[in-house]
Amino acid sequence: MKFFIDSADLSEIKEAEAMGVLDGVTTNPSLCAKVGVRDFEGHVAKICEMVAGDVSAEVVSTTYAEMLEEGRRLATIADNVVVKIPLIKDGIKAIKTFSEEGIRTNCTLCFSSTQALIAAKAGATYISPFLGRLDDISHDGLALIEDIVTIYTNYSFQTEVLAASIRHPMHVVECARMGADVATMPLSVMEGLLKHPLTDSGLEKFLADWDKLQASLK
């Protein structure tokens, strides 16, 4: 499974990269607004310089022609840019065109298996089902991940399942169990994957025993 960080914060991306487990970055307009991005394309360029993996940069256009214009411009920023497109009819049309042009895409805001099937048939590089947002309204987000993985496997679609809207470490574990290709998550969740109370208590005991041994040798 590939790990992406879901952030536009350069310091968070740098920290995730330093951990040595980062495979890419996803951004969206909300994340950019959160850190006060003014020059979006310049900001994407900075992120692309920081990481070697794919960087999803989202269009804000909602019509086919405008998405093509904006997406083509974003794709020229760096070789590792993936153009993020909303899962609407004009978005699917744009994904089909981008696929024919060799521009990689991340189809975002997916909330159903039917949407994921359409996106794969259009040639999306990634599909981003938002499992946490489904959980928020009492729907089973993980069941959607499982369904999409099964459907894509059944028909050998090349579209990668990028589990998004991840809220906690168990979301990551379950997505990995189901065979999702990618999990994109906040830095806090990525760091949470490391945590276990027995690791902390075990290390504390090891160090205490070492200090006791050193004291006995004086």
Is 34 catalytic? The answer is no
pLDDT of residue 218: 82
Whether the Cβ atoms of residue 84 and residue 95 lie closer than 8 Å to each other? no
Whether the Cβ atoms of residue 94 and residue 64 lie closer than 8 Å to each other? yes
Q: Which of 84, 96, 195, 212 is catalytic?
A: 84
Q: How far apart are CA 121 and CA 132, in angstroms?
A: 25
Whether the Cβ atoms of residue 171 and residue 163 lie closer than 8 Å to each other? yes
C-beta atoms surrounding 151 within 10 Å = 16
Region 156-185: what's the mean pLDDT?
98
pLDDT of residue 11: 97
Above 90 in pLDDT, residue 12? yes
pLDDT of residue 29: 86
> What are the b/e assignments for 4-29, b being 16+ CB within 10 Å?
bbbbbbeebbebbbeeeebbbbbbbe
Above 90 in pLDDT, residue 151? yes
Region 159-165: what's the mean pLDDT?
98
pLDDT digits (tens, 9 = 90+) for 80-131: 999 999 999 999 999 999 999 999 999 999 999 999 999 999 999 999 999 9
Q: How far apart are CA 79 and CA 71, in angstroms?
A: 13
